[in-house]
Amino acid sequence: RMIRERTANVSCWLQSAEPRFPQEGDERIDALPTTIEGLKEFDAIVLLDPDPEDLDAQAAEALKTFVAEHKGGLLYVAGPKHTQALLARPDLKPLRDLLPVAPGELLDARAAAAEPWPLRATADGADHPSTRLEPDPERCRYLWSRLPGLFFSYPVRSEKAGSTVLV
């Protein structure tokens, strides 16, 4: 967990928590910053299946500016609960534009695999700094194949120009 990393200053906001829930982190936040001024306080933002009800066009545009103009990091993790609604909202297009893939269509958001989908490092992923588990690419591919796998994956139509599939 990032909170345990002593060299990182982490703020967490559990979107689904009650308002008085004690949020974890080095600096408490009560909401996702939705302006570029608020976002610039951070190096990176991690969105784990965010509920689009707490996002609007201003927040989406601020996130796009944060990444495109201020070189902020953004990790978006699709999930079975809110991703389909987020992708359907026209006003959140600036956020969708940041995705390195063209999303497909999820037919049943409640569907989950009974068995995990295996993970495999691609040739690029076996030697990429963000997915390299071992210096040796062959050993790295082997280690990725030994990981438990995923029970949910949002369909992707294609990767966008300039993106690289790592796993």
pLDDT tens digit sequence for 77-99? 998 889 999 999 999 999 999 99
Give per-residue pLDDT as tens, 5-51: 667 778 888 888 887 888 887 888 888 999 999 999 999 999 999 99
* 79 within 8 A of 108, measured Cβ to Cβ: no
* Tally: H helices and E strands in the chain: 5, 4
What's the confidence (pLDDT) of residue 132?
92
Tell me the C-alpha distance between 97 and 74, whole Å: 12
The pairing of strands 73-77 and 156-159 is: unpaired
Q: What is the pLDDT of residue 58?
A: 95
- Say which residue, 108 or 73, is predicted with more confidence: 73
Q: What is the pLDDT, as a whole number, of residue 99?
A: 94
Predicted pLDDT of residue 22: 80
Between residues 59 and 1, the one the model is more confident about: 59
The whole-model pTM stands at 0.83
Dump pLDDT digits (tens) for 104-150: 887 665 566 778 888 999 999 999 999 999 999 999 999 999 999 88
Count the residues in the chain.
167
